[in-house]
Amino acid sequence: MPSPEDRRVLAVWCPDWPAAAAAAAARLAPLHPVVVLHANRVVACSASARAAGIRRGLRRREAQARCPELHVAQADPDRDARAFEPVVAAVAATVPGVEVLRPGLLVLAARGAARYFGSEEVAAEQISDAVSAVGVGCRIGSADELSTAVLAARRAALVPAGEGAAFLAPLPVSELAIEPALAAPERVELVDLLHRLGLRRIGDFAALTPAEVASRFGADAIRAHRCARAEPERPPSADRPAPDLAVDYVCDPPIDRVDAAAFAGRLLAVRLHERLAAAVAACTRLLVVAETASGEQLSRIWRCAEPLTADSTADRVRWQLDGWLTHRALRNPDPDHDPDLDPTGSTIVGLRLEPVEVVAAAALQLGLWGGVGEEDERARRALVRVQGLLGGDSVRIGVLSGGRGPVERITLVPFGDERVPAADPALPWPGKLPQPAPAVVLGPQPAVELTAADGTGVWVCDRGLFTAEPARLRWGSKQWPVTGWAGPWPLDDRWWATPTEADAAPVEGSVRVQIQLDGDTRVLLLLGYAGTWHVEGLYE
């Protein structure tokens, strides 16, 4: 295990990078308010936009109402990575060994920089000056561990050696999930659970013993606990990965366009992951190397919190090549430029992907289709093939939507389209169906008959109560005794609709009731309208 001095990490964080990249692409003034949207909600905003009251999660219309002069841009990872390449190049020219976590955030070993410049403070000043020279502001942090250094960079703090846990202790526990490059998506649920347990600070969570965390939470909680205690999250590899895992590609003809770079990146990513799968390994640090027509070699390391899949590898290769090609084209805008005669040539003649750090694939969490990425891709291709045969609407997936009933809360969108719900599920929905939701929601809602003990039909009176106590339920040719119920719940929405128009939502005067049949083995959700009961869902 390396000494604490050898593990020291410098993190360079460019705040609000998606907004900064969007502003640079639009050539806006530095103080112009900018927001970046995804699915019609704000995912990033500039400091001037925050000063005007803009916050993440706002809808586009509300954000524009708070700041009419707001510049609105859509989320574009390619644009963010392309704009970040000059920043990475500036830092790499000052201190070698740069690793990119995501566009807007990079890390590097602090030991060499501190020895060369005399101290970490001087090294941070030099890096900050280099980034400022390309017109970008940044914050720099350092600590013994990578995750601590990233959180320190958000506060522009240089954490002394051995003081990582003390620095993290007073911070809100939500900081453990604030950086997507270091936290899995389920980290948000963990933070919410810790809040409800009364663990509001990182120090409160760190005070738990590893045995208590391992016995009560999942694998991601163990990683978060190591981060909270400022312990090494990922032990360094004992050996370099075998060289036969690296893949090469000769670009014939040379690559000078982004679309050609994307094709080459996809091809290399598939080859790399075929070799990793054969070696039962997964890559967590990837070296991308490109050779230009003039013989120059360009290289960059990408580090990821989770093992890379074929898709994520292809994305990073495309981002990197796009950044190199665009950056070098801007330095040499002459269309008659011959890259074979000028050392600043921007065409790429060779590519290489080399895993710098690998982990055992057997230790990874399997995905929905039983693998770590390859099976996902095969399933995706199969679904796309079905769409090609039967049409785009033949394959649809469900998206959680807003609404009061189970049918309303499901929005079906064609596979491959943006997963935008018909209504916002985060909004309050007074009168919505209480939890738990039905396990099965029926499309055509079959009619059933609810009767009392004497065989008369059961409906709901003007006071919202049953006209008689339900005793039996008849569904087609079968019938069951009713052993319990909950409700009825009158529904007063959609007063303008008629039963024929209300395939996805109840109409005025409708009621819902939960009916228990055969003891506790079968429960139905009934929707009643126009004097008839219909089965809306089944509980398991």
| pLDDT tens digits, one per residue of 396-449 | 888 888 777 777 788 888 776 667 777 777 777 777 777 777 878 877 788 888
DSSP assigned state of 160: P
pLDDT(242) > 80:
no
For residue 227, the Cα-to-chain-centroid distance in whole angstroms is 20
CB 143 within 8 A of CB 159: yes
Name the β-bridge partners of 441: 537
pLDDT(170) > 90:
yes
Give the model's pLDDT for residue 477: 83
Between 258-278 and 310-331, two packed helices, what is the crossing angle to 10 degrees?
A: 150
What percentage of the chain carries pLDDT values higher than 90? 32
Full-model pTM: 0.62
What would the two tokens of residue 529 be?
């309208």
pLDDT(312) > 50:
yes
Q: Which of 211-220, 266-275, 342-351 has the highest mean pLDDT?
A: 266-275
User: Could you tell me the pLDDT band of residue 234, with boundaries at 50, 70 and 90?
Assistant: low
pLDDT(367) > 80:
no
pLDDT(143) > 60:
yes
Name the β-bridge partners of 35: 45, 72
Distance separating alpha carbons of residues 490 and 488, to the nearest angstrom: 6
For residues 515-523, give the mean pLDDT. Answer: 72
User: Could you tell me the pLDDT band of residue 73, with boundaries at 50, 70 and 90?
Assistant: very high
Give the model's pLDDT for residue 296: 85
The H-or-E segment that residue 35 falls in is strand 34-38
CA dihedral 528, 534, 537, 540 (to 10 degrees): 100
pLDDT(373) > 80:
no
Give the model's pLDDT for residue 533: 87
For residues 153-176, give the mean pLDDT. Answer: 94
Q: Which of 281-295, 358-372, 437-451 has the highest mean pLDDT?
A: 281-295
For 173-233, the three-class secondary structure string (H helix, E strand, C coil) is: HHHHHCCCCCCCCCHHHHHHHHHHCCCCEHHHHHCCCHHHHHHHCCHHHHHHHHHHCCCCC
Write out pLDDT tens, residues 202-218: 999 999 998 888 888 87
User: CB within 8 A of 239, min separation 6: which ones?
Assistant: none
Rg (CA), the chain: 29
Q: Which DSSP string do the residues of 270-293 spell out, in sequence order? A: HHHHHHHHHTTEEEEEEEEEEEET
What would the two tokens of residue 278 be?
């054969």
Distance separating alpha carbons of residues 509 and 107, to the nearest angstrom: 61
Give the model's pLDDT for residue 345: 46
Average pLDDT, the chain: 82
Give the model's pLDDT for residue 331: 55
- Residue from 276, 235, 247 nearest 361 by CA: 276
For residues 451-459, give the mean pLDDT. Answer: 87
| Long-range residue pairs from 82-85, CB within 8 A, at least 24 positions apart, any chain | 82/21, 82/319, 82/322, 82/323, 82/326, 82/327, 83/20, 83/21, 83/24, 83/25, 83/323, 84/14, 84/17, 84/21, 84/323, 85/320, 85/323, 85/324, 85/326, 85/327
Distance separating alpha carbons of residues 104 and 75, to the nearest angstrom: 14
- Of 537 and 173, which is predicted with more confidence? 173
205-209, 255-259, 348-352, 388-392: least confident range? 388-392
User: Could you tell me the pLDDT band of residue 147, with boundaries at 50, 70 and 90?
Assistant: very high
pLDDT(371) > 60:
no
User: Could you tell me the pLDDT band of residue 499, with boundaries at 50, 70 and 90?
Assistant: very low
48-62, 243-257, 346-360, 490-504: least confident range? 490-504
CB 326 within 8 A of CB 85: yes
CB 231 within 8 A of CB 162: no
Give the model's pLDDT for residue 332: 54
For residues 516-539, give the mean pLDDT. Answer: 80
User: CB within 8 A of 81, min separation 6: which ones?
Assistant: 103, 319, 320, 322, 323
User: Could you tell me the pLDDT band of residue 463, with boundaries at 50, 70 and 90?
Assistant: confident
**Collapsed DSSP state (helix, strand, coil) of residue 58:** coil
For 326-340, the three-class secondary structure string (H helix, E strand, C coil) is: HHHHHHCCCCCCCCC
Give the model's pLDDT for residue 382: 77
What percentage of the chain carries pLDDT values higher than 70? 84
pLDDT(366) > 80:
no
Q: Is the dihedral of CA 410, 412, 415, 418 positive or negative?
A: negative
